[in-house]
Amino acid sequence: MDAKQLWNVFSEHYPEHQSADYQAWSYGAAADELADLTVKGIKTATASAYELYALENEPLPKAGEWNVILDDKGQAVCITQTTNVSVVPYNEVTKEHAFKEGEGDRSLTYWKEVHQDFFSKEYQAKGLEFNETIPVVCEEFEMVFKAN
């Protein structure tokens, strides 16, 4: 099922949201694994590099936004609603945020290892250099609807 089809099913159950806008996207790394953690309600947050939004001409996420989460094949797996967005330096991401991301052992140490590698590669691909103070968009969300 694609994003539009899942949104239509969601709208049948919640007609008050039928005309709402939504974004459809997949996680930048390990899309299937992270989508599965989201469906299970384990992953309730994500992080992205602030500077890349401007480079890619994309708006920052905002509280209240609807998201259709896709797997690595572009199939819709669930719908989330963003509940909170903050921008903090990489070295100030909290252990609470790392836990909400639901990855690995859910520790800040694990989060930093995985995200330093991920952000370093993203920055390098854009001709930028990662450092410990890059601004990070910390987005929290609630999973509100699952595909079958």
pLDDT tens digits along 31-45: 999 999 999 999 999
pLDDT at residue 39, as a whole number: 97
**Positive or negative: CA dihedral 34, 101, 103, 114:** positive
3-state secondary structure of 5: helix
Q: How far is CA 118 from CA 31, 98, 111, 144, in A?
A: 13, 15, 10, 28
Q: What is the mean pLDDT of residues 96-107?
A: 97
Distance separating alpha carbons of residues 139 and 47, to the nearest angstrom: 6
pTM of the model as a whole: 0.93
Q: Are 121 and 106 in contact (CB under 8 A)?
A: no
Contacts of 118 (CB under 8 A, 6+ apart): 28, 29
User: Which two tokens mark 44?
Assistant: 């309730």
